[in-house]
């Protein structure tokens, strides 16, 4: 799941550090895809750092539940099939594109249906102190946390997730994600065709997309096996 879909599961919390932790694995990938941290089992006497860790663990659990769900398996496969004709000749793998497109469409639908307020999400992030984040990243083994803090400041300043409310921007976001791996993932014609597919699929998904959020919510309430 993407940023706002993860935020959905903690939209009622008042703990900004838990919210940060719940999106931090994806933020770190955006900052530098070579960063690999595993702080899930760390302990600390600072409550704010432990809140980041609890949010991080929640992120991993939500992703596990989502990626093993029938909803994800079905819709990522269907999206792969309808996107494939639009990207003939592109180096981008259709499965990768179907996966990412589905997650971006879900974020778009959360915003455009009013389920999530993106301003509330950014307000949480802006409440987190850099010193706490730096200490968490150092504890997690990151050698130069300032790389992330510089990215994070830019992320908060530009607030680009607001653009997810515009369906046409979903295809642009797809392109930007693919450009982390491929220099020129799509031609202008392919971008246009991608946009058409995304808009049409979004409309088809609009009536049922909340089912997966309700399902994951119910799964999260189940007692953990000892």
Q: What is the pLDDT of residues 52-97, one digit of tens each?
A: 999 999 999 999 999 999 999 999 999 999 999 999 999 999 999 9
Spell 122-134 as b/e; 16+ CB within 10 A means b. bebbeebeeebbe
33 is written with which tokens? 């895809």
Convert the pLDDT of each residue in 188-219 to its tens digit. 999 999 999 999 999 999 999 999 999 999 99
Interval 103-107 mean pLDDT:
96
SS3 172: helix
Helix axes 47-67, 70-83, angle to 10 degrees: 70
pLDDT of residue 69: 98
Tell me the angle at which helices 146-158 and 16-31 cross, rounded to the nearest 10 degrees: 110
Residue 224: pLDDT band with limits 50, 70, 90: confident
Q: pLDDT at residue 130 above 70?
A: yes
Give me the percent of the chain exceeding a pLDDT of 70.
99
Mean pLDDT over the full length of the chain = 94
At residue 225, does pLDDT exceed 70?
A: no
Work out the average pLDDT over 6-23.
Answer: 98
More confident residue, 32 or 9: 9
Cβ atoms 92, 129 nearer than 8 A = no
- Residue 33 has what pLDDT? 85
Average pLDDT of span 3-21: 97
User: Distance (Å, rounded) from C-alpha 12 to C-alpha 143?
Assistant: 33
Query: Is it the case that residue 100 has pLDDT exceeding 60?
Result: yes
């Amino acid at each position: 799941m993407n940023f706002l879909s993860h935020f959905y599961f903690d939209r009622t919390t008042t703990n900004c550090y838990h919210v940060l932790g719940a999106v931090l694995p994806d933020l770190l990938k955006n900052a530098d895809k070579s960063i690999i941290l595993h702080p899930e089992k760390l302990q600390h006497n600072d409550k704010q750092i432990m809140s980041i860790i609890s949010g991080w663990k929640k992120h991993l659990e939500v992703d596990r539940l989502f990626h093993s769900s029938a909803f994800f398996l079905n819709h990522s496969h269907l999206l792969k099939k309808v996107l494939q004709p639009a990207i003939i000749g592109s180096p981008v793998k259709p499965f990768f594109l179907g996966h990412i497109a589905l997650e971006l469409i879900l974020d778009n639908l959360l915003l455009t249906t009013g389920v999530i307020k993106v301003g509330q999400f950014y307000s949480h992030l802006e409440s987190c102190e850099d010193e706490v984040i730096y200490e968490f990243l150092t504890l997690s083994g990151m050698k130069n946390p300032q790389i992330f803090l510089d990215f994070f400041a830019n992320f908060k300043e530009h607030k680009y997730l607001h653009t997810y409310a515009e369906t046409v921007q979903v295809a642009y976001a797809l392109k930007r994600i693919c450009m982390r791996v491929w220099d020129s993932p799509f031609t202008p014609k392919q971008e246009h065709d991608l946009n058409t597919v995304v808009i049409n699929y979004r409309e088809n998904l609009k009536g049922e997309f909340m089912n997966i959020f309700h399902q994951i919510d119910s799964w999260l309430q189940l007692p953990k096996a000892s």
